[in-house]
Amino acid sequence: MILVRNVFRLKFGTAREAIGLWREGIGVLRRAGVSRDIRVLTDLAGPFYTLVVEETFESLGAMEDAFRADSRLPEWREFYSRFATIAETGERELYTIIEEAAPG
């Protein structure tokens, strides 16, 4: 299992806008029939105006296929172009999930 963390540093004062845009983006994927485990996180400490989007995939190939499919959606491209105007930087972190703790 692969964890993908997209870490964005946002322009000052744009966190609420970014959260709203990501809610739209996730809606685009859902309407397109894409069902993925996506989490959007914001900073509590550390660099201000940080937004993280996490997803899990069965493999790197599955991640690549999903990202390629997303980029073919006109609504996704439109959402992402609006988000890109408020993101100053971004980086992608990839992790192998070794073990997940059971709830409770």
Would you say residue 14 lies in a domain?
yes
pLDDT of residue 13: 93
22-68 per-position pLDDT tens digit: 999 999 988 888 878 899 999 998 889 999 999 999 999 999 999 99
Give the number of domains in the chain: 1
Would you say residue 101 lies in a domain?
no
Dist CA 104 CA 101 (whole Å): 9
Would you say residue 103 lies in a domain?
no
56-86 per-position pLDDT tens digit: 999 999 999 999 999 999 999 999 999 999 9
Is the model's pLDDT at 103 over the cut of 80?
Answer: no
What's this model's pTM, rounded to 2 decimal places? 0.88
Dist CA 28 CA 18 (whole Å): 15
Q: Domain with 11 in it: what CATH number?
A: 3.30.70.100
Percentages helix, strand, coil for the chain, rounded to the nearest 5? 40, 30, 30
Identify the domain containing residue 42 by its residue range.
Answer: 2-96
Would you say residue 102 lies in a domain?
no
Would you say residue 6 lies in a domain?
yes
